[in-house]
Amino acid sequence: MPDALRACALGAIALPVAGAEAPAYWYGFPPALIPLWSEPSGPSYHGYWKHWFIERELTYVRMYVEWPIALELARTPAQLFALVAIRAIVETDAVTPQVAAFAAAVGIGNLDQIDAVSLDTGDDAPGLVRLDQFAADAPLACFSDPASYGGSFPLSTQPPGADALARTSQFELDADVLAGWLGDAGCPPWLSTRPQSRLALCRSYLAQGAFGLAWLTINARGWSIADARTAVAELAAAAGDPRFEVLASAWLSVANDSAGGY
């Protein structure tokens, strides 16, 4: 994690957007999310989206808790910083001293360009491609034609292709739009919304050594925190990956029952 991003997550660099909480507050989130900050309105998180045991690109998302979905909003730290700046400018209709201080602290050198784009398209994703930070590796939301996108995040409004099913988390799909497909008997179990024991399904994948499918099962809606804690601990023990053990320990350290579930 770049030093400037770590400083934002720890609250050492002030975020110039209304309601940003850093360090992030625990409202309940799956372990694929590494929160950088939270916002009580919603509530929602901005953070890393990191998959384990499957081939997926590390990316940055905004995750909504009550409408449980993760949407890719940036693919690089520079893009995430630019998003914070343009959102803050749109909120206040000005480049405030707080925005200027944030830009200086995180190394944004094109604040005038960001301000100019905000006047034309606000902080809408399609307009972001005019910014230097989004000239390459733009996130999915920037493209009206998904075929132009070069990342690995799935389109939330349609079922993933057969080659992508075992790399897709249910949190990446719009449950309202895809309700019929997600509830269909033919939907893969780790994506399905049909009644089932998430913990039992996860354990079945662990018994097969299918750690990627166990991970995707954990990162689906419908878990109690108590069962999710058990599943994360069992996956860490079975996989024996020291790096994943760090993630599991960190998530378990904050995942208390106050959130009920996710």
pLDDT in tens, 63-115: 999 999 999 999 999 999 999 999 999 999 999 999 999 999 999 999 999 99
pLDDT in tens, 4-62: 999 999 999 999 999 999 999 999 999 999 999 999 999 999 999 999 999 999 999 99
Contact 224, 209 (CB under 8 A): no
- Rounded-to-integer distance, Cα 187 and Cα 141, Å: 25
DSSP bridge partners of 35: 47
| Beta sheet of 59-64, edge-to-edge order | 33-39, 44-49, 59-64, 69-74
H or E segment and range at residue 71 = strand 69-74
pLDDT digits (tens, 9 = 90+) for 168-184: 999 999 999 999 999 99
pLDDT tens-digit readout, 213-226: 999 999 999 999 99
Domain ranges within the chain, ordered by starting residue: 3-148, 185-259
pLDDT at position 150: 95
Instruction: Look at residues 201, 191, 195 and name the one whose alpha carbon lies nearest to residue 228.
Output: 201
In one-letter notation, the amino acid at residue 17 is V
Confidence label for 195 from pLDDT (cuts 50, 70 and 90) = confident
Supply the pLDDT for residue 184. 96
Alpha helices in 34-170 (DSSP H): 77-92, 97-106, 111-121
Q: What is the mean pLDDT of the chain?
A: 97
